Amino acid sequence: MPTYAYPSRTVRDAEVPLLEAGVPLMAHAAAALARFCADRLRVDRGQVAGARVCVLAGPGNNAGDALFAAAALARRGARVGVIVLCGTTHDAGLAAALAAGADRIDVSADDSPSTTAGSPSTTVAASTAWAAALTDLDRADLVLDGVLGTGGRRGLPPHIAHLIRDWRERESGGTVIAVDLPSDLDPDPAEPAHARIHADATLTFGGLKAELVDPRTADFTGDIHLVDLGLPLDADAAVAELLDPSDLRAEFPRPRPESHKYSRGVLGIVAGSRDFPGAGVLTAGAAVNAAPGMVRFLGDRDVGDRILDRHAEVVLTPGRLDALVLGSGDPETGLVETALTAIGDTVPVLLDAGALEMVGHAEAAPLSGGAHRLRGRPVVLTPHAGELSRLLSRLLGEIITAGRVTADPLLWARRAAADTGHIVLLKGSRTVIACSDGFVVLPARGPASLATAGSGDVLAGIIGTLLAAAHADRRTAGDDGPLSDREAAHAAGLGVLLHNAAGERAVNAEQLVTAVGQVTIALLHGEDPTDGILVQ
């Protein structure tokens, strides 16, 4: 099943009825954290006994999780040090840790090194407590970050930020586990990246927090592990959906005994041109290899002839469609508009490359003759950062550079989706798929080998096929309405995962088309597409 991410407040609110009913959520969280830390210590050093564990303890409940977990590790022979950073911390958790043999160090603002008045170059020496805290951190095999939790304000108090900076600049090698959230997880912090907490893993409780899925924070969270506490979270309240290869294996559209070519989805493609015929060949080839019911190529006839040389099953005549892909390889505008005006009112459309020029503001008049046909149906835009920067610059009337888009892909994909009213699939090292209401789908990261000419054409063909399958399922079930934007974005996310899996066994776009077929064969037969499939 997909994993959903929620605003932190939504997760906290969902805890309330369980806490009121007496469910010991902290005990469950701390036990899971202790097990995770013990497993990590066994991997890193062979055993828990004798390991040095240091807890950075703030004032909130996540410090309680860390302290109870540290107490459990101490009872198994670990040597635990607790650094109390705010004068107080979770009382019961601290008592449990001390009772299990932990040592306590109190560090306050008065303990931090400071610059003397009138002499910027002269620094007052740190206190004994400060030095002891740094020594404890340096020696630790494992550090638990329990400074701030979901209720904490972003940004650490100055003395804590100073301690973290001093510690990280010493480059000590202990494993860092963030409890629920890394405490200084701020995409735009005052502290430089090298002086902030870089967790090797984050154990988050109850529900995945939205802060953890921002691509800008990946370097600070490490691997994210969700501990299910049985919270009554509704997927409708989620702000993001994460997809991984297990979702592709579970949900890839497979034919049923009663299936026929029209029930499996018919994809129309207008792609390629005399200058760029390969784009049409790649888009159509990827679509065919992703196993639709039928592919209709409605573009330039010379490109169509090239496609037939490779894929004799492609049809070159118009007819029923369940999805339409437009724009890869700069096809003629007239062909694009003809195809767009001929489809049903609910058929999803994917716009790539040159077809993005058709897109305007959601509430504005359309820019070209067929563009009015984009309204009332799911439309997926598939720009890379350069194309999105040009689209945004045109829509916003200001220069938005590709560098700005790359620096904050979530922000700009959401902005473009809101302004256009369409789904925006921003291609890049981490693909972001944004709906106009701000909801995002985040497929797992793909291999760097996908950064090659023609890769986007292949992706368009794959996504078009999955959109056609989803629309055909709805149609054959008797529902004449369009896919919702979230359903279309989900199908697009599955397409990204298929593209990623093919990219693991290809180094260029032509090989990628072949690999799409190999991965699809594995999926159709219930196999793991990552096992033993090689490019031929």
Q: Which residues are annotated binding-site positions for (6S)-NADPHX?
A: 279, 329, 384, 457
> Largest alpha-carbon pair distance within the chain?
84
Q: Which token pair is 131? A: 């030095």
Residue 264, CB-side half-sphere exposure with 13 Å CA sphere: 19
DSSP string, 298-355: -S-HHHHHHHHHH-TT-B-S----SEEEE-TT---HHHHHHHHHTS-TT--EEE-GGG
The rounded distance, in Å, linking the Cα atoms of 319 and 334 is 18
Q: Which two tokens stand for residue 153?
A: 């304000």
| DSSP for residue 263 | T
Separation of CA 81 from chain center: 35
Binding site feature residues for AMP: 427-431, 456
| Residue 139 CA, distance from chain mean position | 34
DSSP label at residue 134: H
CA gap 423, 30 in Å, rounded:
40
Q: What φ, ψ does residue 209 adopt, rounded to 5°?
A: -85, 145
| Per-residue burial over 13-51, b = 16 or more CB atoms within 10 Å of its CB, e = otherwise | ebbeebeeeeeebbebbbbbbbebbbebbeeeeeebeeb
Which DSSP state fits 111? G
Segment (H or E) for 495:
helix 485-503
Q: What whole-number distance in Å separates Cα of residue 330 and Cα of residue 328?
A: 6
Distance of CA 356 to the CA centre of its chain: 24
> Residue length, the chain?
536
CA 471/CA 479 separation, integer angstroms: 9
Closest CA to 136 of 57, 47, 29: 57
Q: What is the DSSP string of 91-107?
A: HHHHHHHHHTT-EEEE-
Q: Which residues contact 71 (CB under 8 A, 6 or more apart)?
A: 80, 93, 96, 97, 99, 100, 102
Binding-site residue positions: 279, 329, 384, 427-431, 456-457
